[in-house]
Each structure stands twice: as structure tokens, then as C-alpha cells.
Structure 1
Amino acid sequence: MQSITSDSYAVHFNNKAYEALNDHLSQKGYSKVFIMVDENTHEHCLAPFMTNIAGEYDYEIIEIESGEINKTIETCTQVWHVLSELDGDRKSILINLGGGVLTDLGGFVASCFKRGIAFINVPTTLLSMVDASVGGKTGVDLGALKNQIGVINQPEMVLIITDFLKTLEERQLHSGFAEMLKHGLIKSETYWNDLKKVDDFNNLDELIYQSVVIKNEVVLKDPTEQNLRKILNYGHTLGHAIESYCLEHPQKDTLLHGEAIAVGMILEAYLSNELRQLPDSALEDIKTTFLSRYTKVAFSNEDIKSILGLLKFDKKNSHGNINYVLLNSLGNPEIDVRVPDELYNKAFAYYAES
């Protein structure tokens, strides 16, 4: 597959990814090459990744614990200490080999260490391949509140090696697939319909490529999320609040990012039907598609009240207003829409209907 060029970096795929990495390392002469992994990518991905690197470099491996619960400033501080102890300097590079938690955190670590060192993202999950690793968003959570601390800073390159998907559980693949479905809803009804036909995850390369193209086109037009890039947050206003709520309440099952966003996309489709022109048929199509792939989550009235209390922390908010991305039709989103309070319970009731 042809590499996808962004403003200051490129996304390379499979064999071209290793070629691009080897060319880059040989040309740049980094003082040290740090590779950050978690326990899963250390076990399943590090050895094949290292096997494909040509040349001799001064490597150091840094391992962090996996999971959203560890996407914190405390983890960053630990990594910064390790970088210092291992004599990292401004001519070092950090290669982030992992899923969205690791690439988000690793990009932030690199952006701050010594006021900024180079970094490369090597996403190993479907979610990070089509979303988290592309576009320059880096950062960590503030307690259970998603992505409250961070910067937008671009990597040297992103390397998508789809063989790493073979190491994932099916639940992780479904989580990433939710973001691909979102790309269809915000940019292309044709792509949405193509994705609905997918019945296994054995050959996703072309669809992954299309998702990266969609995200890259949006980011190129609005790299710092002033306007258009907000459409990538469809489903995320309520979805992030649901994800945060489940993360901080032990009695609730923790949801993976895509699972929470799938709920958010149904809820926000209902709001789109009520407040914009999204047809009834499209609303039912969205609900049916997501509920056929993602287990329905039960929310009590108390759950809903607490979830709605978290909306004030959404990053798209301004001047005290909660701003939504809603759909006028499939592939036609609208940003900065305000929602009357009385519609929230109706949206959750619609989601709960069989």
C-alpha cells in the first residue's frame, strides 16, 4: 500500500514501514533509541519488530503497565525518570510500540522530555492504527477524565504493521472497528455500508487504509481542532463520559474505548434525529448495526445522572456550553450543536429499547 503523507510526517504500511524506519534511523544518527512497550507488546510484538530493524543502535527498552487506568501523569513521571537515568538527551528518539494508551502517553512523554524529543508511533491495536496514533494528539487522563492533559505534536512517522493484529483478542478488534464505523458515519455512507458487510477481521488492510485516509484528510484541513477536526469526535461526548464513569465505578464493567463510543454513537444518533435531519431509517440503521456487534450496556437512572455530570469536562466545551457533533445524514456531520437537557433521558431510553 502506498504511504499516506500528512503535513509533516507519513504513515507507512507493512514492509514499507520497516524500510522507512530503517532509512530514517540510518540518516538521523540518534544518540539513543528508546522503545516503549507494555507487558503485552513486550511479549508479542517486540521481537518481530526488532528483527526487522537493520543496523546497530544504542537501544533501551522501557516497559509500562497496560490499560487506560495507567494512562496518567504518574506513569509519565516514571518514564521521564527512566529516560534521565538512561542518559536520554535531546538527540534521542522514543519509539512507541503499542496501542492507543501507549502511543498517546508516549507521544506526550516525548513532547515534554528535554522540551521535546523525536518520537515514532508503531500502533499494534486496530484502534490505534485507525485513530489514536494518527493526527498528533498526545496526552493522558486526569483521574478518570479522558485526555484532559496533553499537546498536539506530530511524530516523525507512523508505522502500521497489520501482522500485529493477529496478537489481539476479538474484543480489542471490535473496539477498534467502532472507530472505523465512525469514519463512515462522518465522511462516507459508502464506506459505512462496506464496513457493515465485514463478518470477520482476517483481512482488514484496505479498510484500515481507507480509515487512515479519512482521518488524515480531516486533520490536514484542521490540525489543531478549531473547526472541522471536531467531527472526529462524533459519539465521543457521551461516549467518553460513559467510559470515564465505568472506569471510576468498580461495580460497573470497564468498557474498552470503542465499546463506550459505540453507545455514544447510538445516543448521539438519537439526538441527531431529534435536533437535525437524520432520517428515522438512518437512526435505526445505526442502532441495529452497533447492537449487532456490541453488547448492550445497562444504565440505571443514577448511572445516567452521574454520566451527564461528567459532560462538563468534555474538551469540545466552550464558554460553559456542551458542544456536540451530530449527523444531518450519513456522512454529513455538523459541529457545535447544543442539546436541551430534556433529551438526554429520552436518548438513553431509546438506547435501552429492544
Structure 2
Amino acid sequence: MQVINSLGYQVIFDDSLVSLKTFLAERQYSKVLVLVDRNTNDHCLGALQVVFNDLEDYDIIEVDPGEENKNIDFCIGVWKTMLDFGADRKSLMINLGGGVVTDMGGFAAATFKRGVDFVQIPTTLLSQVDASVGGKTGIDLDNVKNIIGTFTQPQAVFINTQFLKTLDDRQLTSGFAEVIKHGLIYDRDLYNNVKELKVRDIAADIIFRSVEIKNEVVSQDPTEKGLRKILNFGHTIGHAIEGYSLFNDNNPLLHGEAIAVGMICEGYLSHKLTGLPEEELNDLIATFRAYFPDYRIAIENYDDFFTLMKNDKKNVGDKIGFALLSSIGKCEYDQYVGEELIIESLDFYRELISR
């Protein structure tokens, strides 16, 4: 078992989940609610049986999987079910799932009766290295990612790497984009260690280092006033592409697939604006194209992308905000970019994949 101390709570790596059993015995909550989606209900919930055997009062809340369901309507359903189950302010919400479950479950708990405790048990690589750590909770609104939410820290995060065996290759690779990103923005050695790794070979020590990086960043800047903004590299354009794809493509992009496109585009902006060397840009491009499929972008979609980008949380006034690389392993935040250069970056990506 390994432990990372975060903002008043611990991130505990424990494939047995015995530490969760100890946590619950010490806290003595009045009621425990477990939020799952259909996938984690089928494939992951059984791993908590060692915990449930000692609980007198717990209930399961199930939601539909998928980013398209991370919205206010589903959140209202969670709140109503919490009421139906008699949850009080001394209840605990256990969020067992990927980023949709941990984001929305955290938000539902943070706002129900002005806040009840919650813990995160992330079951996907994406949620283990990103969504479950740092205290961001939220839901989407009108295709805009995580625009409604809070900064609320969990009581603990329990990471069981065995859950990754339940993922298909596409889901696992999607989460790998965030591991690569952590290397790009903060740790050149991590990037070099993972850029040619087979995704199925990702080891617990790589996951631990990726979580450690995110924790080091958010512990210095919990509410994203400064340094934490570097975690958004690739996300300004990537989130816009993800939001567009979600409601316009028959097979929408997963989060990691969209931010892989975003990181190539924003890598280009980094080369133009913050000094990312051309050879490092080319290395970044080769890495992402080795893992992720090309995404066909049409010029007529640019207006839709800009509509989404202009609603991004990082913007100031009408200026679109970015985090950009100065080199692999170093990132600059509060970089504001005009539309003309953003269009140039999208054109660069379109031309790149057409060769």
C-alpha cells in the first residue's frame, strides 16, 4: 500500500480496499450511498463486498454511463434518490467509477444539504490519474465541459489498479493521454519513460508518479489561480473538439482522444508563442499519433469550436486562455491567443493528418 498526502486527505493505493474498510469503521457514518454506473455495477462493485459485509446501512445509486449523461438532469436524479434513501448530513457518498461518476458524484455530494462527505474510488485510468484527484467536481452544460461545479475535496481517494483490467483498450488508451500530458507539462523523464510504452504494460509506479504530479500541482494551487492552470494543456481546444464530437459524431471521441488532438494543436501554438523547439513539437506529434486515431476536422466546424472555446473557464473577458509548453517538462500558463493563430493551429492539424 502506498499513500500520497493531499489537501487534508490521502490518496491510498490499495488493491485490497482493506483501507476503505478501516476508513469506514473509524468514521461511523449514518448511511453510506454508493454511486455507480452500469459498467461499474457489473464489473467493480463486487470488489467492495469486503467492505459491505460490515455495513448495516448502505444503498446503491446507478446512473447511465457516458459523458452525455453528466448533466443537471441526471444530477437531479441522484439528489432525488439521496432524498428517497434518507441521506442526512452525516451520510457518505462513495463514487465508484470513471470521470463521469467521480465528477458528478462529487458535485451531487458537495451540494446536497450544503455538503456531505464523499470518497472517490476511480475505476478507469483517466479517473485514477486525473478526475478523482484535486477536488474538482462538476457537470456539463450545453456541450461545455464541467462549466457547473465546485472545488470540494474528498475525504479520501482509494486507487485499486486491478480495476484497469476491466477496461477495453480504447478506454485505457484514453486515460493514457493524461499520463503523457503530466510528463509534457512537468516531468520530462516521465514523458520519455511512457512515450513508447504499450498501454497494457502501464505499471502501478507510472500511475503513482502521474497522480503524484497532479497532487504536487494542485496542492500548491487548489483553486486554479495560477500553477494549476498548467494541467489544462491541450484542453482549451481539446474540450471544444470533445464537446462538438459528443453531439455531432456517431461515435464520439473519448476525452483522451479529444485532448490528444488538442495537445497537438496547442503544441503548435507552443512552438509559435512560448519557444517549444521544433524537434520537441515533432516528438510530441509522433507520440500522440502513435497512440490515438486522427480526427477529421472540417473548416466549417471552426465556428462551433470557437463558440465552445469562448465559454471555457480559463478565459478572461473575450481572451481565450491557454497553458503552453516552453519545452517538454515545462509549461507556462495564462497565455492568451487570438483567433487567427488558433485557426492556424487547427489548419496545421488538418494538413498534418492529410499528408
- TM-score (norm. length: structure 1): 0.97
**Alpha-carbon contact 2:21-2:50 (below 8 Å) kept:** no
1:53 shift after superposition = 4.8
CA displacement, residues 255-300 of structure 1 (integer Å, 9 cap, x when unaligned): 1000000000000000010112100000100111101110000111
SS at match of 1:138: strand
Q: Distance in 1 between matches of 2:29 and 2:304?
A: 48
Q: 1:301 maps to what in 2?
A: 299
**Alpha-carbon contact 2:320-2:338 (below 8 Å) kept:** no
Q: 1:3 maps to what in 2?
A: 3
Q: 1:334 maps to what in 2?
A: 332
Q: 1:289 maps to what in 2?
A: 287
Q: Which amino acid aligns with 2:61?
A: I
Q: Distance in 2 between matches of 1:86 and 1:132?
A: 27
1:2 shift after superposition = 2.0
Q: Distance in 1 between matches of 2:199 and 2:304?
A: 36
Q: 2:268 maps to what in 1?
A: 270
Q: 2:344 maps to what in 1?
A: 346
Q: 2:150 maps to what in 1?
A: 151
Q: 1:91 maps to what in 2?
A: 90
Say if 1:143 and 1:335 are closer, same or farther in 2 by CA, change over 3 A.
same
For 1:76-115, what aligned pairs fall within 5 Å after superposition? 76-115=75-114
For 1:1-354, what aligned pairs fall within 5 Å after superposition? 1-15=1-15, 18-53=17-52, 55-250=54-249, 253-352=251-350, 353=352, 354=355
**Alpha-carbon contact 2:121-2:157 (below 8 Å) kept:** yes
Q: Distance in 1 between matches of 2:199 and 2:179?
A: 14
1:105 shift after superposition = 0.2
Q: Which amino acid aligns with 1:237?
A: T
1:203 shift after superposition = 4.1
Q: Distance in 2 between matches of 1:271 and 1:202?
A: 32
Q: Distance in 1 between matches of 2:256 and 2:293?
A: 12
**Alpha-carbon contact 2:20-2:51 (below 8 Å) kept:** no
SS at match of 2:25: helix
Q: Distance in 2 between matches of 1:57 and 1:137?
A: 30
**Alpha-carbon contact 1:22-1:54 (below 8 Å) kept:** no
Say if 1:233 and 1:178 are closer, same or farther in 2 by CA, change over 3 A.
same
Q: Distance in 2 between matches of 1:279 and 1:67?
A: 37
1:309 shift after superposition = 2.4
**Alpha-carbon contact 2:102-2:122 (below 8 Å) kept:** yes
1:321 shift after superposition = 1.4
Say if 1:177 and 1:186 are closer, same or farther in 2 by CA, change over 3 A.
same
Q: Distance in 1 between matches of 2:42 and 2:18?
A: 23
- Where in structure 2 are there 5+ consecutive unaligned residues? none
Q: Distance in 2 between matches of 1:29 and 1:244?
A: 41
SS at match of 2:136: coil
RMSD: 1.3
1:201 shift after superposition = 1.5
SS at match of 2:291: coil
SS at match of 1:55: coil
Q: Distance in 1 between matches of 2:259 and 2:169?
A: 17
Q: Distance in 1 between matches of 2:209 and 2:157?
A: 15
SS at match of 1:224: coil
Q: Distance in 1 between matches of 2:23 and 2:153?
A: 16
- TM-score (norm. length: structure 2): 0.96
Q: Distance in 2 between matches of 1:11 and 1:54?
A: 23
Say if 1:32 and 1:224 are closer, same or farther in 2 by CA, change over 3 A.
same
Q: Distance in 2 between matches of 1:162 and 1:264?
A: 27
Aligned residue pairs, count: 352
- Where in structure 1 are there 5+ consecutive unaligned residues? none
1:21 shift after superposition = 1.2
Q: Distance in 1 between matches of 2:213 and 2:102?
A: 20
**Alpha-carbon contact 2:103-2:136 (below 8 Å) kept:** yes
More strand by proportion, 1 or 2? Answer: 2
> Which shows bigger deviation, 195-204 or 1-10?
195-204
SS at match of 2:17: helix
> Which shows bigger deviation, 192-201 or 122-131?
192-201
